Amino acid sequence: MQRALAVALLSLGLSNTLAEVAFARIKLITLPIRERVEIQLDNPNATLVEEERIVPLVKGVNQVDFSWANTQIDPNTIVFRVIPRVEPAGNAGKPKEQDKPEAKPMDVKVLSVSYPPNEAALVWQVASSDSGSARVRISYLLGNLTKSFNYRAVTSRDEKTLTLSEYIRIQNLANESFGSTGLWAGFGPRFLKPIGINETKEMLIEKHQQVPVKKTYTTDPQQYGYLDRPQNKLLVPMHYVLKNDKASQLGRAPLQYGKVRIFQEDGHGGTAFLGEDWGKFTPLDDEMRLYVGTAQDVVVKRTIGKNEQKRVAGNLYNREIVVKYEIENFKDKAVTLDISENIRALRNEVAGDTGRDVQWELGEETTFKEQPDKEKSTFEQVVFHVDLPARGADQKAIKTVHKLDVLIKNEW
């Protein structure tokens, strides 16, 4: 073990012969073992280790030597504390006599700390009112002990609910082993596990069942592009969308960033692998979107039907743009398609990038039945939801046509 905690039992009450070496650093051959270790992984950028040891002290001034060769302990973060004593030396295991007064608690104080030159070590001067054992707690930030998260999502056959299992993976490259160690990710249960040198452990933190999930179909020429540009056919990516709230059997803690492997029940007691995606960090009441492929049976053809300038005054003009969407659903069930357009990108597409923000309003030729989604739309992004009927009995898709009429104002 590269890091050592050693205690020098040095007393100010020693004879003059020993006084000359009273402050020499004397390391014990047998190290006090760790009584308790806690590793906190809740901070995304640092790993906090807190350990406790029982150290023998003599009456007077003692030196406690803490070294960490070949480990990445941040010396600026080391904190040394003495907590209530365990038992005075020599009294452990002895019965207390009722007719004798209770032993006076041992008073232990940290006097100073020093940094030996050219060493990865600290030495504390510790004063003790009596000889005995003291429990000390040492905490520090440790490098090369890292965590990551990953998920397994299994959707039901009808794709309406899923089971989300969240795992934490701990990789120990800190050149230090930790015995029975308390591990906590900042949420979920605490684990008591040993962690060896160069060891990787993976543990299940949470398993959320019956999580409502919504399957979405989306077009966005700026974000996702085209499936077939010469034919103006847009890509239609599919996503599973789940909300991190209590109504969705979640909402106890943010969902951490991590890889999500996605499966679907096959109806025969097994699962089929659908793919994998990186789930973003998802705060409470926010949504996680998981990509599950491109829809081949929902076809969207996008064309520019109108692009006209209308002079307002001088060199100031308005521009009217009409985008036409021809949509076919070849699925045997009805679905909802989200159509998203970035108005600034649309202006740049037909007129070039002017570098200016866009002022706009919807024109009269817009045919969407509903107003733009207020939650998903922004000052320059508009999102509409379109309900598509299932294909007919003849297996032919019913074509749905919509127009987006945008009046871009005060251009020059």
pLDDT digits (tens, 9 = 90+) for 127-140: 999 999 999 999 99
pLDDT tens digit sequence for 16-52: 333 333 344 444 334 578 899 999 998 888 899 999 9
Q: Give the list of residues 6+ apart from residue 207 with CB closer than 8 angstroms, or none.
A: 163, 164, 165, 166
Instruction: Read off the tokens for 23.
Output: 């402050």
Across the chain, mean pLDDT equals 88
Least confident of 23-32, 178-187, 317-326: 23-32
pLDDT band of 330, cuts 50, 70, 90: very high
With the C-alpha atoms ordered 28, 30, 31, 32, is the resulting torsion angle positive or negative? negative
Backbone angles phi and psi of 72, in degrees to 5 = -95, 65
- Distance, in Å, from the CA atom of 246 to the CA atom of 162, rounded to the nearest integer, reads 15
- Distance, in Å, from the CA atom of 89 to the CA atom of 133, rounded to the nearest integer, reads 6
DSSP string over 177-227: -EEEEEEE-SSS--EEEEE-TT-EEEEEEEEEEEEE-EEEEEE-TTTT-EE
pLDDT tens digit sequence for 141-174: 999 999 999 999 999 999 999 999 999 999 999 9
pLDDT band of 7, cuts 50, 70, 90: very low
- Model pLDDT, residue 31: 52
Cα distances from 9 to residues 28, 34, 60, 184, in angstroms, run: 9, 19, 9, 35
- pLDDT above 90 covers a percentage of the chain that reads 75
First-to-last CA distance in the chain?
73
Instruction: Read off the tokens for 24.
Output: 């020499």
- What are the residue ranges spanned by the domains of the chain? 3-142, 144-214+242-284, 297-411
- Model pLDDT, residue 67: 87
- Model pLDDT, residue 45: 83
Residue 121 has pLDDT above 60, yes or no: yes
Ramachandran sector of residue 186 (left: φ over 0; alpha: ψ -120 to 50; beta: rest): left
The pTM for the full model equals: 0.82
- Model pLDDT, residue 36: 93
Residue 86 has pLDDT above 80, yes or no: no
Least confident of 100-104, 247-251, 346-350: 100-104
Residue closest to 273 by CA, chosen among 281, 261, 288: 261
| Pairing outcome for strands 178-184 and 191-195 | antiparallel
Amino acid at the residue 308 = E
- Distance, in Å, from the CA atom of 331 to the CA atom of 270, rounded to the nearest integer, reads 24
CATH class of 297-411: mainly beta
SS3 category, 76: helix
H or E segment and range at residue 19: helix 16-19
**Alpha-helical runs (H) found in 311-364:** 343-351
H or E segment and range at residue 64: strand 60-68
| Order of strands, sheet of 3-8, starting from the edge strand that comes earlier in the sequence | 3-8, 60-68, 121-128, 108-114
pLDDT band of 341, cuts 50, 70, 90: very high
The alpha carbon of residue 2 and the mean position of all alpha carbons in its chain are separated, in whole angstroms, by: 31
Residue 229 has pLDDT above 50, yes or no: yes
Least confident of 81-90, 92-101, 189-198: 92-101
- Residue 341, classified by CB atoms within 10 Å of its CB into exposed (0-12), middle (13-18) or buried (19+), is buried
**Mean pLDDT in residue range 95-104:** 54
- Distance, in Å, from the CA atom of 280 to the CA atom of 42, rounded to the nearest integer, reads 17
SS3 category, 2: coil
- Model pLDDT, residue 33: 81
- Distance, in Å, from the CA atom of 52 to the CA atom of 36, rounded to the nearest integer, reads 5
DSSP E strands, 295-396? 298-313, 316-329, 335-342, 359-362, 381-388
- Distance, in Å, from the CA atom of 359 to the CA atom of 312, rounded to the nearest integer, reads 14
- Model pLDDT, residue 85: 54
Residue 251 has pLDDT above 70, yes or no: yes
Instruction: Read off the tokens for 203.
Output: 């543990």
b/e sequence 349-361, b meaning 16+ C-beta within 10 Å = beeeeeeeebebe
